[in-house]
Amino acid sequence: MAFPATRMRRLRINPLVRSRLQETDISPERLIAPFFVRSGKGVRRPIGSMPGQFQWSIDYLVDEVGRLHRKGLRSVLLFGLPDRKNERGSQAWASAGIVQRAVRRLKSEFPGLLVITDLCFCEYTSHGHCGIVRRSSAGARRRWELDNDATLASIAKTAVAQARAGADVIAPSGMIDGMVGTIRRALDRRGFEHVLIMSYAAKFASAFYGPFREAAGSAPQFGTRHSYQMNPANADEALREVGLDIEEGADIVMVKPALCYLDIIRRVKEIYRVPVAAYNVSGEYAMVKAAGRLGWIDEAQTAREILIGIRRAGADLIITYHAAAMLNDR
């Protein structure tokens, strides 16, 4: 049967029709804006490798979140930059820790804001690794290793401290075996059954994290994170990781980074049918900003296309440094 050549084009020519037939949305409810929080007052320190991103003191953070909240922002993810670091990262669970103070202030100012707290220790430890490090007995060349089980105790304390401050969602990002079950048990025992866990379930050992490590001061002082973050070549392993976190009680699972792992996002969504988040990470953001500044691409259009692609792959939520720009363009 022959069809007129213009049959499909009729759906695209009229912009009113085209907008109403758009299959994939990136509404504000889908976006989570990350923020780096530090102590002090009146601080808005630019991050050189992430143009348009800043380290914020709590007073300025409240002002910026308020501005974006009026434009439709509904969710934030907080990373803390402590004044002091030690080998155990104990400022992560201190009641007066920077993230706990920021959470209390944001929930007081914006009760309807969904506040998500990253739970990792790389920003808090003097060595920059995501937990407690011990000397290794696994060969002469490898002198250290992450102590998985010792780290779980610190994870439990930090999750409770963040929930007590008012966090709606705890987001463990260290790729520590058993972290989700540990958090769920710790929260439930202390009456925080309502607090959700958004697990960095498939977090790859990626080259795209470089700008974040500048922003958070979290680069490892020795070694790499390859022993606990995932090999970028492994897709089936990512699915096993996600399945384990769901079994342990994760309410939302995350794939990080996003752009090189759209296939993982799609497979996770199709197999598990649970809420899926994707982290459009710092390196992905920095590339767009750099090319936009050189005039090689239309920055706003490129960012929007990237976010639509991540949504189309199956992500229900997107953590992205483009969130403010998307809201400002509305």
Which residues participate in catalysis according to the annotation?
A: 203, 256
Q: Answer whether 74's CB lies under 8 Å from 327's CB.
A: no
Tokens 């996600």 label which residue? 242
Euclidean distance between CA atoms 256 and 278, whole angstroms = 6
Q: What number of other Cβ atoms are within 10 A of residue 21's Cβ?
A: 10
Residues 6+ apart with CB under 8 A from 119: 92, 155, 158, 159, 162, 170, 171, 172, 173, 174, 183
For the chain, the residue count is 330
Burial class (CB in 10 A: 0-12, 13-18, 19+), 296: exposed
DSSP-derived secondary structure letter, 219: -
State the Rg of the chain over Cα: 20
Torsion of CA 75, 166, 155, 82, to 10 degrees: 80
CA 36, chain centre distance (Å): 12
